[in-house]
């Protein structure tokens, strides 16, 4: 059973490749949260996987909240293979350790951890790389994902994350504190190009967006003060109508189309 959280498709793509190789069931954390479903039963000997993006050298808040409620109705022993795969834009810090600690609190002891460098979707500060660079990143990512799939299939144990970056034990506590402070929704706004389609409300894993108004004048409003800042709403709006602060108007939007194939 593989749980994944993905705002822009990178982690979904990785989770799908793993599921194809292992024949494990795929569970979307966004869908699970929408359905208020936190209890799952694994089959005997089935591996457990968690594929999530890195946010500020840590784990998305929605994933933290999901794991805190997660119940797996199964007996754990030292034979159980539990793996984590992070996707990031460059480096993960100690996000893997943070995830392992969270899982340990729920009696799930991580046996193997991995990390894949993919396209950085954090467009609140920087623009996306050029199309050519995106393709190069994906070619390299595919090689890493293939290696991870082989290791997971053989249930190889170890910490295989070589993307932790500089001083992860210092960087994670410092940057994650920043995340807790900045993930506010008051900087989101909607432009007139909004088509009233409501896709942003469906994409939001936190149920933090509600549509107001009627007919073609329906517009999203952010109902929670804080959210995970996953940027699913911003990247997946078909009209590029959602902005955050001053920089996103000129920056691109990203979705890993391979995740939907």
Give yes or no for residue 229 binding ligand FMN (CB under 6 A): yes
3 state SS of 18: helix
Contacted by 53, from ligand SF4, ligand FMN, none: CB < 5 to 8 Å by type: ligand FMN
**Both tokens of residue 13?**
């793509």
- Is residue 234 close enough to count as binding ligand FMN by CB under 6 A? no
One of 1, 7, 18, 148 touching ligand FMN (CB under 6 A): 7
Given a contact cutoff of 8 angstroms between Cβ atoms, the answer to whether 52 and 4 are in contact is: yes
Q: What mask of x and - would describe binding to ligand FMN in positions 87 to 116, judged by CB under 6 A?
A: xxxxx-------------------------
- Token output for 75: 């007996």
Counting contacts by CB under 6 A, is residue 134 touching ligand FMN? Answer: no
Tokens (6 digits) for 36: 């208020």
Residue in 1, 2, 3, 8 binding ligand FMN, rule: CB under 6 A: 8
Angle 168-182/95-105 helices, nearest 10 degrees? 80
| Largest CA-CA distance found in the chain, in angstroms, rounded | 57
DSSP class of 126: S
Tell whether residue 242 is a contact of ligand SF4 (CB under 6 A).
Answer: yes
Given candidates 3, 17, 53, 220, which one binds ligand FMN under the rule CB under 6 A?
A: 53
Contact range with ligand SF4 by CB under 6 A, out of 117-125, 149-157, 163-171, 219-227: 219-227
Helix residue ranges per DSSP H, 23-60: 29-34
- Residue 125 CA to residue 116 CA, distance in Å, equals 22
Choose, by CB under 6 A, the member of 24, 61, 120, 206 that binds ligand FMN. 120
Backbone angles phi, psi at 37, to 5 degrees: -110, 115
Site size for ligand FMN (CB under 6 A):
26
Among ligand SF4, ligand FMN, none, the one that 9 touches (CB under a kind-dependent 5 to 8 A) is ligand FMN
Contact present, 24 and 18 (Cβ < 8 Å): yes
Q: Which does 242 bind (CB under 5 to 8 A by kind): ligand FMN, ligand SF4, none?
A: ligand SF4
Q: Tell me if 208 contacts ligand SF4 by CB under 6 A.
A: yes
CB-nearer residue toward ligand FMN: 53 or 220: 53
Contact call for residues 91 and 165 (beta carbons, < 8 A): yes
Residue 172 interacting with ligand FMN (CB under 6 A) = no
Cβ partners under 8 Å of residue 239, min gap 6: 191, 193, 194, 195, 197
Please state, in angstroms and rounded to a whole number, the distance separating the CA atoms of residues 200 and 198.
5
Measured at the CA of 243, the angle between CA 237 and CA 244, to 5 degrees, comes to 130
Rounded least distance, CB 184 to ligand SF4, Å: 10
Q: Which of 51, 116, 149, 237 binds ligand SF4 (CB under 6 A)?
A: 237
Nearer to ligand SF4, 59 or 190 (CB): 190
Q: Does 123 bind ligand SF4 (CB under 6 A)?
A: no
Residues that bind ligand SF4 (CB under 6 A): 185, 190, 194-200, 203-206, 208-209, 220, 222, 227-233, 237-239, 241-242
């Amino acid at each position: 059973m593989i749980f994944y959280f993905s705002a822009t498709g990178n982690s979904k793509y990785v989770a799908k490749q793993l599921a194809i190789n292992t024949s494990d069931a795929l569970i979307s954390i966004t869908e699970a949260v929408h359905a208020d479903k936190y209890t799952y039963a694994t089959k005997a000997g089935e591996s457990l996987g968690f594929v999530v993006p890195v946010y500020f050298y840590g784990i998305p808040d929605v994933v933290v909240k999901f794991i805190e409620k997660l119940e797996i109705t199964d007996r754990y022993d030292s034979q159980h293979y539990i793996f984590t795969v992070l996707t990031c834009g460059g480096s993960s810090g100690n996000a893997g350790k943070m995830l392992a600690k969270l899982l340990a609190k729920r009696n799930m002891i991580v046996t193997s951890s991995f990390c894949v460098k993919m396209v950085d979707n954090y467009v609140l500060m920087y623009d996306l790389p050029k199309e050519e660079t995106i393709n190069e990143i994906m070619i390299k990512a595919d090689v890493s994902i293939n290696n991870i799939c082989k290791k997971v299939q053989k249930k190889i144990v170890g910490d295989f994350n070589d993307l932790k970056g500089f001083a992860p034990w210092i960087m994670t506590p410092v940057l994650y504190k920043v995340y807790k402070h900045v993930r506010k929704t008051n900087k989101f706004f909607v432009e007139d190009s909004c088509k009233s389609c409501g896709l942003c409300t469906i994409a939001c894993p936190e149920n933090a967006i509600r549509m107001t108004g009627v007919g073609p004048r329906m517009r999203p409003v952010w109902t929670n003060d804080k959210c995970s800042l996953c940027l699913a709403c911003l990247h997946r709006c078909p009209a590029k109508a959602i902005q955050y602060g001053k920089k996103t108007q000129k920056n691109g939007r990203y979705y890993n189309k391979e995740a939907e194939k």
